[in-house]
């Protein structure tokens, strides 16, 4: 509930909040205030606090009997505090800072309990993030008109040198505009373009996290990618995607390769694995494009796309397993299950993709189909999904652990020690059972093992 300058929380104050309010002015700051004004429910938001008028040691003293304080951020005047409810929050003292170099750690920081809340707020990045809510009075502190910009759907940077102080703010601005449906104020846009080359001084991990926030939080990440393309930022961050702009496709695709890629990303569910796979699934078409008998074709583009996807994700230092999963989905997104496939063929397909990957592969393919409104393909995928689900529901043997025998059984039957040979035998047994499920009994499989050994 709120009036023009008062916001009432949807919960009672916690004990530690009440205790601190007896010693200082305590505010909620930043994103939580922005999102409350956007109508978000309090329970879904992350809490960040600003404590004004209290020294660091006194802050720790007040909090000590009320929970656990982690002092890892002491040099920046920040306490990570875990209260009785188990929630961990950041409580900061007001501070000033100025850049002394291009890196995100290259700042001189001074925190001081006498600094007013307004001074702390104006040092932040964008006006929509530079508001505070006093927990005692519910009063809104908004020195830069962030509430008005939010209502008008405008992204406005706080000051002229903001992106030079921390170039990552350019990427933060991109993900904000995509997540919240904002238009970038012209002066802010000009500064983003002016300073975008400074992104080369930012670690790839920090850029990756802003892209991830956009992919997870935006209904249409395409808005961010379009803005980056139009401003030239995308050529610095994801040149492989930027270079697909204007690449004509064939009759099955109404959009060029760039628009198809970002619309596929929009059509994917907000899951990092699926959205990254959908975004990157066709990038290899640029290199593999050919014209044969008057038709544009992209034979084996999925292999090239998988290689490009792997290079991009490795450059952004994604975990190895995540990169492996994305490249696997991209490599197999062109599968075509036909009506004449036998159940054994479907089982082989499931094994090749991996039981744990099947649902994700269908999600990527469906995003591809939805991005171009291909009703026939969507219906075909639904039929294919039904066949796969029927096989899975039949409890078919699709993994070695589903076999009626294990490695110990093979070792005992053959009287040999373990080693690579055991794995080879189990794989052969699995191949047999995939083709002939009725063979998955202990007696039959051990009989096959004995026959295999006779012919060694």
Domain spans of the chain, in order of start:
15-145, 153-237, 238-396, 400-454
Mean pLDDT within 244-256: 89
Residue 366 has pLDDT above 90, yes or no: yes
Q: Topology of 153-237 in CATH?
A: Hydrophobic Seed Protein (1.10.110)
Residue 146 near residue 123, CB atoms below 8 Å? no
Q: Residue 451: what pLDDT? A: 83
Q: Topology of 15-145 in CATH?
A: Beta Polymerase; domain 2 (3.30.460)
Report residue 52 CA to chain centroid gap: 35
Residue 431 has pLDDT above 50, yes or no: yes
Lowest-pLDDT range of 101-105, 169-173, 351-355: 101-105
Instruction: Say how far apart CA 435 and CA 344 lie, in whole Å.
Output: 5
The CATH number, out of the four listed (1.20.1530, 1.10.3210, 2.60.40, 3.40.50), of the domain defined by the range 238-396:
1.10.3210
DSSP summary character for residue 440: -
Residue 94 near residue 118, CB atoms below 8 Å? no
Lowest-pLDDT range of 5-19, 166-180, 364-378: 5-19
Instruction: Say how far apart CA 329 and CA 362 lie, in whole Å.
Output: 9
DSSP summary character for residue 126: B
Residue 143 has pLDDT above 70, yes or no: yes
Q: Residue 228: what pLDDT? A: 98
Find, among 51, 44, 57, the residue nearest to 20 by Cα. 51
* Phi, psi angles (nearest 5°) of residue 161: -95, 15
Residue 293 has pLDDT above 50, yes or no: yes
Report residue 397 CA to chain centroid gap: 33
């Amino acid at each position: 509930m709120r009036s023009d300058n008062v916001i009432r929380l949807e919960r009672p104050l916690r004990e530690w909040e009440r205790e601190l309010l007896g010693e200082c002015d305590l505010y909620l700051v930043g994103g939580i205030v922005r999102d409350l004004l956007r109508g978000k429910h309090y329970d879904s938001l992350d809490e960040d606090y600003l404590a004004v008028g209290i020294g660091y040691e006194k802050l720790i003293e007040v909090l000590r009997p009320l929970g656990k304080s982690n002092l890892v951020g002491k040099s920046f005047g920040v306490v990570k505090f875990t209260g009785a409810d188990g929630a961990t929050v950041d409580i900061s003292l007001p501070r000033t800072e100025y850049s002394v170099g291009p890196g995100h750690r290259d700042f001189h920081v001074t925190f001081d309990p006498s600094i007013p809340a307004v001074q702390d707020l104006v040092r932040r990045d964008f006006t929509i993030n530079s508001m505070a809510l006093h927990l005692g009075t519910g009063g809104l502190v908004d020195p830069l008109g962030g509430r008005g910009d939010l209502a008008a759907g405008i992204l406005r940077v706080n000051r002229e040198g903001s992106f030079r102080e921390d170039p990552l703010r350019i990427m933060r601005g991109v993900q904000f505009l995509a997540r919240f449906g904002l238009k970038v104020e012209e002066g802010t846009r000009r500064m983003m373009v002016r300073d975008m080359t400074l992104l080369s001084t930012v670690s790839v991990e920090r850029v990756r996290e802003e892209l991830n926030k956009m992919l997870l939080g935006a209904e249409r990440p395409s808005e961010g990618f379009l803005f980056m393309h139009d401003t030239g930022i995308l050529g610095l961050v994801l040149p492989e995607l930027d270079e697909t702009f204007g690449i004509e496709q064939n009759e099955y695709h109404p959009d060029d390769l760039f628009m198809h890629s970002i619309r596929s990303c929009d059509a994917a569910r907000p899951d990092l694995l699926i959205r990254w796979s959908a975004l990157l699934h066709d990038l290899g078409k640029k290199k593999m494009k050919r014209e044969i008998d008057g038709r544009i074709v992209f034979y084996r583009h999925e292999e090239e796309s998988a290689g490009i996807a792997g290079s991009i994700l490795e450059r952004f230092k994604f975990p190895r397993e995540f990169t492996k999963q994305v490249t696997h989905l991209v490599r197999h997104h062109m599968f075509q299950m036909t009506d004449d496939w036998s159940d054994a063929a479907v089982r082989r397909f499931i094994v090749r993709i991996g039981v744990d990957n099947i649902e994700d592969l269908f999600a990527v393919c469906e995003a591809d189909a939805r991005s171009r409104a291909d009703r026939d393909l969507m219906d075909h995928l639904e039929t294919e999904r039904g066949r796969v689900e029927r096989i899975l529901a039949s409890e078919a043997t699709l993994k070695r652990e589903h076999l009626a025998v294990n490695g110990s059984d093979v070792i005992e039957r053959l009287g040999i020690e373990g080693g690579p040979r055991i794995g080879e035998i189990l794989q052969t047994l699995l191949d047999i059972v995939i083709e002939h499920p009725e063979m998955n009994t202990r007696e039959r499989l051990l009989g096959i093992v004995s026959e295999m050994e006779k012919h060694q």
